[in-house]
Amino acid sequence: MTGQSQAHPTDADLIGFVLTEARLIDAHRFEEWLDLFCDDGRYWMPLEWGQTDRRLHASLMDEDKLLLRVRVERLKGNRTFSQKPKSRCHHVLQVPMIDSRDDGAGTYELYTPFHYVETRLDEQTLYAGWARHSLVHADGRLRIKLKRVDLVNPEAAFGNIQLFM
């Protein structure tokens, strides 16, 4: 990624970060993807439209880095029979928009509408929604503090979501 040696990331760096994150997921490069998260980073997918607090309501997913690591290890495991053959996915992203930037604090908020397809065997499921990335710039690199994924229809009855949107 460009600009990592600069004092502050450029808009292109921020947008490129979000695009690279999706590409890592699509390519099953989950260890590299997990490394994008801060040690206290979270991946959150609200269960209700407009949900504002993950602690006061149930969520489709609300995972810290430890739980994300457990999921990544499960996806890599030879004894994970639900992943034989492995699920695959594909992100189609609109250009990420920078909602806010505070170079002094090293914090950045991005908003990205997306379509996401997850497939395994004969099943293919399309999801649509918005990803919100709360990024921090520390030690010369960008990291995910929070990735919030809001689905268009979060209250629908979903099957198992195997990968990461």
Per-residue pLDDT reduced to its tens digit, 42-60:
999 998 888 888 887 878 8
Instruction: Look at the domain 11-48+55-151 and name its fold.
Output: Nuclear Transport Factor 2; Chain: A, (3.10.450)
Per-domain residue ranges of the chain? 11-48+55-151
pLDDT value of residue 77: 73
pTM, rounded to two decimals: 0.90
The whole-angstrom distance between residue 133's C-alpha and the CA centroid of its chain comes to: 8
What is the rounded average pLDDT of the residues 18-43?
97
* DSSP-based helix, strand, coil % in the chain, nearest 5: 20, 40, 35
The Cα–Cα gap between 151 and 146 comes to 16
